[in-house]
Chains A and B, each alone.
Chain A
């Protein structure tokens, strides 16, 4: 029996050389996770029930099939370090500049035509342990982990929960057990709460007007299946050999108070476009700026929250011919993220 509070995890902030080569412990950091579940491995077997010739409809034999680990979420309070990691591995085109203590990660979505690894994003390594050593309950290293989705949630509540960042991970099924990893010391992070944010959408400064309530930012890579002849196997179970981006999806929605002069409906009717700039700050060296390059409003619905008239807006992110879809700048003192 083991208590889930004994679960320890670390994962690589540096990218793997390729999908099947695990990162070393020197490129791993140990961060906490609000998701209390371990990452399931899920080996899948199949049987011969549908085959005729046995004289009955029941299965008599089992066969090894494949590893099908589900998407696993790392759920964290927003920090500069984890933001650089999640957006870097999730969007893929990362430019690192700056020096200690102010590294700057400028991040945009990859273009499959020019990305050095084609349709594949950088891969990370994930380790989970419960009582590692001679009597380990769990001690696994997963290779070839790719960020399939990123979700940023900003809420009108106090505390760390006001800004949450979640990264959804998938993995090939390739693993090492025991991991042989000595868990590094906990990595300090610089968290950023919604109370210090600035926000301008389509020409409106929502923070100065004190009208902002919530915002949800989402990204999905919609990975294509990584099964193919030659994709690999371990223990006789097939593993996936690639995670290629599919038709990626990106969304931004928000809710604000609706008052005299609120322009959301007018802008939707006029199909007005503009940038949306979200800034969250810990300090000068640790902050996050998300710039939607060309945003219009798809839906603007009048409603109510806590007795106040509101407008809930679903954005329509357009691809700007010069600046693309979205640019993310994460500043942190931590070096080597997604490098």
Chain B
């Protein structure tokens, strides 16, 4: 089963993808990290005629 992950960002701007468990998140959040939402990838326009 695939692990649930989230992106976290530190106060210095470092971004890390981590496992979304309290054991992993708590020390990061206590150190000032917060959730980062990466920009969604732009959707490629559909090719005409298809």
Give the interface of A toward B (CB within 8 A): 93-99, 104, 106, 108, 111, 113-116, 289, 291, 293, 320, 322-325, 327, 329
Question: Cα distance A291–B22 when bound, in Å?
Answer: 10
Q: Decide if A106 touches B34 in the complex (CB within 8 Å).
A: no
Q: Decide if A98 touches B34 in the complex (CB within 8 Å).
A: no
Given A95-B35, A113-B32; A106-B11 close (CB under 8 Å): no
Which residues of chain A have C-beta atoms less than 8 A from B22's C-beta? 106, 289, 291, 327, 329
Which residues of chain B have C-beta atoms less than 8 A from A325's C-beta? 30
Which residues of chain B have C-beta atoms less than 8 A from A93's C-beta? 29, 34
Q: Decide if A97 touches B6 in the complex (CB within 8 Å).
A: yes
Which residues of chain A have C-beta atoms less than 8 A from B20's C-beta? 95, 97-98, 104, 106
Q: Decide if A114 touches B30 in the complex (CB within 8 Å).
A: no
Chief secondary structure at chain A's binding surface: strand
Minimum C-beta distance from A53 to chain B (A)? 55
Q: Decide if A323 touches B26 in the complex (CB within 8 Å).
A: yes
Q: Decide if B34 touches A116 in the complex (CB within 8 Å).
A: yes
Q: Which residue of B lies closest to A91 (CB)?
A: B29
Which residues of chain B (1-38) have a CB below 8 Å from chain A? 4-6, 8, 10-11, 20, 22, 25-27, 29-35
Q: Decide if B30 touches A324 in the complex (CB within 8 Å).
A: yes
Which residues of chain A have C-beta atoms less than 8 A from B30's C-beta? 108, 320, 322-325
Which residues of chain A have C-beta atoms less than 8 A from B31's C-beta? 111
Q: Which of B5, B10, B26 contacts A324 (CB 8 A)?
A: B26
Q: Which residue of B lies closest to A329 (CB)?
A: B22
How many chain B residues touch A (CB < 8 A): the figure is 18
Q: Decide if A97 touches B26 in the complex (CB within 8 Å).
A: no
Question: Cα distance A324–B27 when bound, in Å?
Answer: 7
Q: Which of B4, B11, B29, B35 contacts A98 (CB 8 A)?
A: B4
16 inter-chain pairs at a CB distance below 8 angstroms, sorted by A residue, are A93-B29, A93-B34, A95-B6, A95-B20, A97-B20, A98-B20, A106-B25, A108-B26, A111-B31, A113-B11, A115-B32, A115-B34, A293-B26, A323-B26, A327-B25, A327-B29
Which residues of chain A have C-beta atoms less than 8 A from B33's C-beta? 114
Q: Decide if A95 touches B34 in the complex (CB within 8 Å).
A: yes
Question: Cα distance A93–B27 when bound, in Å?
Answer: 13
Given A95-B34, A97-B4; A114-B26 close (CB under 8 Å): no
The 5 A-B pairs with the shortest beta carbon distances in the complex, nearest first, are: A324-B30, A114-B32, A114-B11, A97-B20, A108-B29
Q: Which residue of A lies closest to B29 (CB)?
A: A108
Which residues of chain A have C-beta atoms less than 8 A from B27's C-beta? 322-324
Which residues of chain A have C-beta atoms less than 8 A from B34's C-beta? 93, 95, 114-116
Which residues of chain A have C-beta atoms less than 8 A from B4's C-beta? 97-99, 104
Which residues of chain A have C-beta atoms less than 8 A from B32's C-beta? 111, 113-115
Q: Which residue of A lies closest to B12 (CB)?
A: A114
Question: Cα distance A149–B41 when bound, in Å?
Answer: 39
Q: In this complex, which of B22, B30, B34, B35 has the most chain A Cβ atoms within 10 angstroms of its Cβ?
A: B30
Which residues of chain A have C-beta atoms less than 8 A from B35's C-beta? 94-96
Minimum C-beta distance from A108 to chain B (A)? 4
Question: Cα distance A94–B4 when bound, in Å?
Answer: 16
Question: Cα distance A96–B35 when bound, in Å?
Answer: 8
Minimum C-beta distance from A50 to chain B (A)? 48
Q: Which of B6, B10, B25 contacts A114 (CB 8 A)?
A: B10
Question: Cα distance A327–B11 when bound, in Å?
Answer: 19
Question: Cα distance A113–B33 when bound, in Å?
Answer: 10
Q: In this complex, which of A98, A322, A323, A329 has the most chain B Cβ atoms within 10 angstroms of its Cβ?
A: A323
Which residues of chain B have C-beta atoms less than 8 A from A97's C-beta? 4-6, 20
